[in-house]
Structure 1
Amino acid sequence: MSNSNYFAPTGGHPPQTDVMTDRAMFKTAYAVIPRGVMRDIVTSIFPHWNDTRAWIIARPLSGFAETFSHYIMEVAPGGGSDTPEPDAGAEAVLFVVSGTAELTLDGKTHVMSEGGYAFIAPGADWQLKNNSDANATFHWIRKAYEAAQGVGAPESFVTREVDMDPSVMPDTNGAWSTTRFVDPSDVRHDMHVTIVDFEAGGSIPFAETHVMEHGLYVLEGKAVYRLNEDWVEVEAGDYMWLRAFCPQACVAAGPGRFRYLLYKDVNRHPKLKL
């Protein structure tokens, strides 16, 4: 896999001359948060994080996405946290899209640059700092780990997208592939965060309709994406949030690749009581 251009938001504020018409949508089965609405005034700050702001683009909501939260974190030079995670039962994935961050995970420090990926196991001890002279931007996907009887929890690890081999989907001639950072058969993991890649013209040629809920952040390119009964244009920097069983498909519009960071919950029985 060659190096990629990962889109990272920068905030700002639109001028009064801009029109309000946009692609933002919040419907029963899905939401679209386009990159143009990720502005300064919608950022959050967290306790114990210094010189850091976050765009919260997914959080558990009754009747909607229920298993995860998803932030885009922007850490200024000198910023970061010694106590980043408030929930001892949370697991996480970090994926760096701009700049450099130093992650100390269970006592070992890793310098993570663009394309760096970390899985943080529940209960892990970690800290993150930006010791560079430019902003560091990364995705932080959090989930309450769901233990399974007789199955141990997975271990933390740090890697890079460039070091992983994508898995080509059958009968696609390389037009559709997925970069998986954990073995799909490893039932210790109850979530997968992958990168899905389409060459120009590649497609999901059927309406996927399944129990897993999704968060999809477009890293690069553009596409026409089917969400429930609608076809929606999306581009780098847009975010899609899909309920379980929301039908989905897509066609990569070109001229370059279309790529997104994908969350889904996996490998556990559905809860029978809410």
Structure 2
Amino acid sequence: MIFSHVAKRLLNAWNFLVLVLGCAVLITTVYIITCQSDTHAVPNLGYIASIVCGALLVLLAGLGLYGLRQHRHCISTGQRNFALGSYVLLGFAAGAVLVLAGAVALTFNTIIAKSKQNDFSDNRVEFLEEAMIQNLYDYSVADPNGWKNMQNSWFCCGYYNTTTIDDFLDLEYTADAQALNALPGIYCKTTNCTSGLPACPNANQVWCREVFLKNASTNNVYIGWISLAAGVAQLFGFICSVYILMCDIRMLERKSTNLLPTDKA
């Protein structure tokens, strides 16, 4: 029974932390979508997924906290703890998803590392490159000044030296990358560039592709390890909640046995 009390305290603390985390994810994502101007440069799917995950975390934490709060009442009245039971099912699913997401994020970093080295031997590197070009090109067409401001905000120039990667890309994406370079920011120069480039970075400046890949790599490290840690902790919470439910079942069985009439000799 001592472990049962410890498990309840751990679950209460963890669920409170998950509740705060879920609210933070929701608030931050809504703020980014409504107040940040450069969100058009990345797919909205990531933001939508973030909102859904934040809402699920809040729901999961609410079920856990409510189920633990009703635990003593359910035991004393002989009722089933549906909230805690739902938390067990959703908690296992959430833990598995978080672990999988963390593993995917860390694995994705290997693709980014190859992309930094222009190693297109892996087809996934080509897919990543084309997705970045297409996404940024669509944004630049919709808002040319926004693309220039993005370059200025990140202290970078254009997209990349297309002459070094055009052999690995379709002509369509090469043309789109050149169109991105044709809208230079303040950190670009239009003279003394490699032949075929409308603009190139100033001295001590870099292409925006290098900045974006570096940021993506850093973000994936944080997201990956945080997701793995949260997933493992959530799976531990799942084990604790299962143990508590099993204790409930044993206590209910014992209570039912004590209430049965005893035969008199």
Q: Which has the higher strand share?
A: 1
Query: Normalising TM by the smaller chain, what interval?
Result: under 0.3
Q: Which has the larger radius of gyration?
A: 2
TM-score after normalising by structure 2:
0.23
Q: Which has the higher helix share?
A: 2
